[in-house]
Copies of this chain bind each other. A is one copy, B any other.
Amino acid sequence: MQTTYLTAAATLLSVIVLSPVRADDLPTKAELTTPTIADVSAVSPALERYTRDTLFDGLWQRPGLTPRDRSLVTLAALITRQQTALLPPYLNLALDSGVKPAEISEIITHLAFYAGWGNALSAIAVTKDVFVQRSIGGDQLPAAFPDLLPLNQAAETERATRIEGQFGAVAPGLVRNTTDILFRDLWRRPDLAPRDRSLVTVSALIASGQMAQLASHLNRAMDNGLTQAEAAEALNHLAFYAGWPNAFSAMPIFKSVFAGRPHLQN
């Protein structure tokens, strides 16, 4: 794992450091705004130091969360925060760290619903280029209509009944879509494991400062297999990619969710 990761980190740095060269005369979307390490150094030698030492040699090397999981968290944060200029190197790092193209496809689709349609479409525009560069074709992508994972009928009925009771008369279309499109369809798509889907959802909520549904999705994530240590380290990771204030706003919610669960989790 460590070897794989070091290779991946080197790839990331070289992607960022080396200026891209293209034959045609139009800049790509990514070329227009992705800064190189030389750009960072030309404005802030301190930020270059923090990027190298604190972020790549520090945070990404920490145990507690695998490089693959860190990639899921980072992609979710970048897409949710619409930082598409940074997506190409992180998409490459994710693919080099073991995230499958099908999983990236599902992350973007999932975030259409959890971060907003425009965020997903903006991510599409740059991801397409990375897929082309790496010769990733339709055979590696999830079907539009796959066989869905089995439904936990009891749990889903409980959720649907509770929300229908609370809000069915307030926003009937939204309540119905939540059941039919999200919980009976999207969440059951098989090409992103429920645990990973939950990690992406939790990351998106923190990355956009939306704390109201965080407790329920963090509980769902841990029901789906995310450990307390992984959740805590994902929060540490998100402090860098979503800013300290978002991470600190999430901390009391993490504390309360952790306290409310059986102690086997960690």
For residue A19, CB closer than 8 A to chain B, the reply is: no
Check if A32 is an interface residue, CB within 8 A of chain B: yes
A91-133 vs B: 1/0 string, CB under 8 Å?
0000000000000111011001111111111101101100110
Q: How many angstroms from the CA of A43 to the CA of B104 in the assembled complex?
A: 8
Flag A151-178 by CB within 8 Å of B: 1 or 0 each: 0000000000000001100111110011
Asked if B244 and A105 sit within 8 Å, CB to CB, the answer is: no
Distance from A218 Cβ to chain B, minimum over Cβ atoms (Å): 12
A122 to B33, CA, bound (A): 7
Determine whether the beta carbon of A43 is less than 8 Å from that of B105: yes
User: CB of A4 within 8 A of chain B?
Assistant: no
Chain B residues, Cβ within 8 Å of A62: 173
Further contacts, 18 of them, CB under 8 A, given A35-B122, A83-B116: A29-B32, A44-B108, A45-B141, A46-B143, A47-B120, A50-B109, A62-B173, A78-B118, A83-B118, A83-B122, A86-B118, A113-B244, A174-B236, A174-B239, A178-B239, A208-B209, A208-B245, A212-B248
A selection of 10 A-B contacts at a CB cut-off of 8 Å is A26-B27, A35-B125, A39-B124, A46-B106, A113-B240, A116-B242, A170-B258, A173-B232, A174-B235, A213-B249
